[in-house]
Amino acid sequence: MSLAEVFEKNPDRRYIMFGGKGGLGKTTFSAATAYWLAKKGYRVLVFSVDPQASLSDIFQRDIFGKGPVEIMPNLYAQEIDADKRIKEYQDEIRRKILDMYGLPEVPQEIENYIQAAAAEPAMEESAIFDEVVDIVVGGQYDYYIYDLVPLGHALYYLSMASVYDQWIDKITALREEMAEYEKVAAVMRREKETEEDKILKELLYIKNRINTSSGILTDKQKTAFFFVLVPEEMIILDTQKAAGLFAKFNVPLSGYIVNRVIPVELAQQNIPAYLRNRIEMQRQYLDKINRTFGGEVLAWVPEFERDITGLPMIEKVANAMFGGNGA
């Protein structure tokens, strides 16, 4: 089956992810897929959860932290500014503390904690995850294309939904137990109703957002995850291991795309020994990829003559990935 057929035969898969080690072409393929779908008339958002994102470079537009930016008709791109999101987090936490407890200002001890927590690496990941939830639950696009961080971090990112969910479950259960005690106390005080539990309401709101997002990530009907690899020994081995790890998180794996394949026709021409050796080396690894992943390889994308930047080059990549004229 080709990559184009995967999309045509699974029209409900509207959440698309490309995974793999850094520097293999995930961002390029995300951009090219967004281009291909937009040309077909779908409203598409491609967004990056990688702090080292390069969608701005590929589209030759400064989109960092500016929300969804229209690149061409139907195609929008977004790079998440985690620092901005963290500041919004801090302001929101302060506001909720003031609202919930009726305080005139945030106590200094709590303010110190808010400031210290913002410096933790986990806060950046949490901010990015939260922004992704906002994007996904917004429902404004036909397709959402995730430009994921490199493998190790991607696994961590994907596991965050599960970790958050378990954590919120425990906190919510504890809060519900406390609410029951408060109800009993209210009855004993002959009060008709207890005051609305704003903390429990907030926890349930967070839990619903996490469940919505994590449910999409692992939904085989709605989500497609593609691994990107190149014909090199270590990359093939790493991809095998990573595929097993992703399976543990129930991420639906839809296939593999091989990038940077040197056209074998070049071997018939008068080329330098270096390039001839590279072609021979790739031939061995391409055979290994065929033996290892077989029919799950959906596209073989050639090495291009220059960097993939700008819509004309993105169109070339889309042609190589999906066949035809990129539309």
- Per-residue pLDDT tens over the stretch 141-167: 999 998 876 555 556 656 666 666 676
Rounded distance between C-alpha atoms, residue 158 and residue 25, angstroms: 20
Q: Is the pLDDT of residue 327 over 50?
A: no
Total residues belonging to the chain? 327
The two most distant CA atoms of the chain are separated, in Å, by 95
- Per-residue pLDDT tens over the stretch 31-41: 999 999 999 99
Cβ-Cβ contacts under 8 Å for 203 (sequence gap 6 or more): 168, 171, 172, 175
Does the predicted TM-score (pTM) go above 0.85? no
Give me 279's structure tokens: 């072609």
Alpha helices in 11-145 (DSSP H): 26-39, 55-59, 82-101, 108-118, 121-138
Give me 11's structure tokens: 């029209």
Rounded distance between C-alpha atoms, residue 45 and residue 78, angstroms: 7
Label residue 186 by pLDDT band (50, 70, 90).
low
